[in-house]
Amino acid sequence: MTKKSLLRIVIFYLIGISISNVFRFDLLHLNESIEKTSLWLIIFFSPLEAIGLLIGAFMSIYLLRKERNTEISVFGYSIKWSILMSVLPILLLTIIGVDNSRGENAHYYGFIAGIATFVYCFAEEYGWRGYLQDELKSIKEWQRVLIIGTLWYLWHLSFIQNRDILDNLQFLGWMIFGSWGIGKITDLTKSIFVASCFHMIIQIMMFNRLIRNGIDGTEKLIILTVSVIIWIVIIVFWVKKTKRLSAKKIQLNQ
């Protein structure tokens, strides 16, 4: 890793951890006001907890592209498949419906909450996979996974609110595992949208405050199972088609 690379990572992370956690810990006391706004405005407020990662990634990717071409992009190898994959969990949340304290129709709320959750996940993934994974592509995979997973864990500052050692070790483990799994998918598709889809499933199953208490365990498992099965089918087809097109280009150039 070069000094320039390290400097870009430091810029990305300092911006990411400082700006994002202003909103994560509600230091500006905005959460109560946001809850009272129009449901549609939640979509625009949803990425605030990850906005630092997005800003940091923009700056560091700009610096990185002065040195070399980047490989990972918003839609990767296919706009069509990236968008189709992202629509699926939002559609399932709309069909199943999400109970909420706002008194909104569960299906309507599920649609809005689904979009808002995806927007948040995209903001995060633009940083972790869109920038950092691309930045660290020259080092060994296990090193890249450990670095991204550890930085991802520390970025949440979860140990401030929960000092239980076992809980924090489990959370660190999940972040490292997630960095490996989502990283693999991103390597195959080069798509931040696809990375955001798998991040969204984690949010639906475990963390997201817009959805967490609005659907039960069975409904979460339905969304998980249906989404992952269809996504795997799409990715297998996508990767095979990409390889065929690459092989044809090589033959034409010979």
Reference 121, options 186, 29, 68, 26; nearest CA is 186
Taking each continuous run of H as one helix and of E as one strand, the counts in the chain are 12, 0
- pLDDT bucket at 133, cuts 50 / 70 / 90: very high
- The two three-digit tokens of residue 175, written as one number: 């972040």
Residues 6+ apart with CB under 8 A from 250: none
At 73 the three-state DSSP class reads strand
pLDDT (tens digit per residue) in 59-105: 999 999 999 999 999 999 999 999 999 999 999 999 999 999 888 99
208, 117 contact by CB (below 8 A): yes
- pLDDT bucket at 250, cuts 50 / 70 / 90: low
Answering whether pTM is above 0.85, one says yes
At 99 the three-state DSSP class reads coil
């099965």: which residue's tokens?
229
Q: What is the per-residue pLDDT for 79? A: 95
How far apart, in whole angstroms, are the C-alpha atoms of residue 176 and residue 4? 25
Q: In the predicted model, what is the mean pLDDT of residues 144-171? A: 93
Q: In the predicted model, what is the mean pLDDT of residues 166-189? A: 95
Q: In the predicted model, what is the mean pLDDT of residues 129-149? A: 96
